[in-house]
Amino acid sequence: MKKNIISIISIMLLGMFCVGCQKKEEAVNGGEKVKAANKAAESTDQADISKENKVNSTEGGKEGAIGDEGISIISSIFPSYDFACQITGGDEDVTMLLPPGSESHSYEPTPRDTIKIQDCDVFIYTGGESDSWIDQILDSIDTSNVKIVKMMDCVETVPEELVEGMQAAGDDEEGEEPEYDEHVWTSPKNAKVIVEKISEAICRADPGNSQKYQQNTEEYLKQLDALDQEFQTVVDQGVRKTLIFGDRFPFRYLADEYRLDYYAAFPGCASETEPSAQTVSFLIDKVKEEKIPVVFYIEMSNEKMADTICEDTGAKKMLFHACHNVSKDDLKNGTTYLELMENNVKALKEALQ
């Protein structure tokens, strides 16, 4: 493991971090999206959260790891965190930067995050607009000894789209470059490719244990194949192909993969939470028109919009989990990407029947 960064470097990184945050804030004020204020407790409690993550990821020991401490893997959000845990079998130090229960699109990094990124062996992040601060950090520090995986570089990405009835961001301007959908892991086929790339990086960081990592990866890829088949079977057997989300829609890759139609209030990375009356009315009419039995909401949502639509139509409200983050209890209990997606399979079956 690399030596701890000395205090002088820490101070330099802190200064760089402040500049990065200022640049991010300028971009936001320029109309990209509105930053939500992060709770003070989420910043001051970050060390405790990382310890909790480490306990979860290292339960079962460090047999066969390099040195006495093994390798250190840092992930920005839950999907890649869980992928790394599955690949290593829980034998390495895997930490998630995003505090459990927090919204990834409004997360504010701490100076400690910068130090962790430079001091780890493998770093995994999404690469979208919501964590553009990471690119600023990576451009400013020495990452020659860090294996980096950018999930959006692993697969073919698509721009977020405005479907009929969807409310555009208030600051959207015609002629702006499209914002690419960050939620690449929501398709099991994409998840497989991402897992393979993460596995390759971990094997390069710890070649002495590459055989174990490769075996774990092969087994996990089989489980992702089975998940993909479950989704396909549900879609093939469904009587409809339309989904309604009284919320944001971070499932573009899943919808494209299984050729599903969808209507939602906002795109996946929209900062808005209050829809216009016109948007709500459109979704209500669509549910009634197509006799849609289920209206979905996503995790970390206030669910108010879905409640309104369901009250007016009699549809059932259900969670469809985007897997971007989990609660503290879920993390402690070992909730996995596969478990969340299996629940999505069940919810999808009910929505398409």
Q: Is the pLDDT of residue 184 over 90?
A: yes
pLDDT band, residue 337 (cuts 50/70/90)? very high
- Most confident range (mean pLDDT) of 13-17, 105-109, 199-203 is 199-203
Residue from 322, 151, 333, 340 nearest 227 by CA: 340
Q: Is the pLDDT of residue 278 over 70?
A: yes
pLDDT at 275: 78
Q: Tell me which of 92 and 26 has the higher pLDDT.
A: 92
- The string of DSSP letters for 202-234 reads HHHH-GGGHHHHHHHHHHHHHHHHHHHHHHHHH
Q: How far is residue 106 from each of residues 59, 98, 153, 270, measured CA to CA in Å?
A: 30, 10, 22, 11
pLDDT at 91: 84
Residue ranges of the chain assigned to CATH 3.40.50.1980: 7-172+181-225, 238-352
* Segment among 114-118, 130-134, 280-284 with least mean pLDDT: 130-134
Report the percent of the chain where pLDDT is more than 70: 76
Q: How, if at all, do strands 316-319 and 261-267 pair?
A: unpaired
pLDDT averaged over every residue in the chain: 81
pLDDT at 69: 66
Q: Tell me which of 24 and 239 has the higher pLDDT.
A: 239
pLDDT tens track for 253-272 = 999 999 999 999 887 666 66
pLDDT band, residue 283 (cuts 50/70/90)? very high
Element (H, E) at 272: none
* Segment among 118-127, 160-169, 318-327 with least mean pLDDT: 160-169
pLDDT at 169: 56
pLDDT at 268: 65
Q: What is the CATH number of domain 238-352?
A: 3.40.50.1980
Contact 134, 76 (CB under 8 A): yes
Q: Is the pLDDT of residue 281 over 90?
A: yes
The answer to whether domain 7-172+181-225 has CATH 3.40.50.1980 is yes
pLDDT band, residue 312 (cuts 50/70/90)? very high
pLDDT at 270: 61
C-alpha to C-alpha distance for 79 and 100, rounded to whole angstroms: 12
The one-letter amino acid at 259: R
C-alpha to C-alpha distance for 222 and 225, rounded to whole angstroms: 5
Q: Which long-range contacts (CB under 8 A, 24 or more apart) does 167-170 make?
A: 167/265, 167/266, 167/270, 167/272, 167/275, 167/276, 167/278, 167/279, 169/33, 169/266, 169/267, 169/270, 169/271, 169/272, 170/272
Q: Is the pLDDT of residue 164 over 50?
A: yes
* Segment among 259-263, 272-276, 303-307 with least mean pLDDT: 272-276
- SS3 state of residue 15: helix
pLDDT at 175: 52
pLDDT tens track for 6-47 = 333 343 333 443 333 333 343 334 333 333 333 333 333 443
pLDDT at 267: 72
pLDDT band, residue 108 (cuts 50/70/90)? confident
pLDDT at 269: 65
Close Cβ partners of 44 (under 8 Å, ≥ 6 residues apart): none
Q: Is the pLDDT of residue 230 over 50?
A: yes
pLDDT at 148: 97
pLDDT at 165: 78
> 340 is written with which tokens?
């969340």
Q: What are phi and psi of 267, to 5 degrees?
A: -65, 170
C-alpha to C-alpha distance for 98 and 324, rounded to whole angstroms: 10
pLDDT at 4: 40
C-alpha to C-alpha distance for 264 and 254, rounded to whole angstroms: 14
pLDDT at 25: 40
Q: How, if at all, do strands 261-267 and 242-249 pair?
A: parallel
Q: What are phi and psi of 169, to 5 degrees?
A: -65, 145
C-alpha to C-alpha distance for 96 and 30, rounded to whole angstroms: 29
pLDDT at 56: 40
Give CA angle at 228 (222, 229), nearest 5°: 90
* Segment among 158-162, 201-205, 289-293 with least mean pLDDT: 158-162
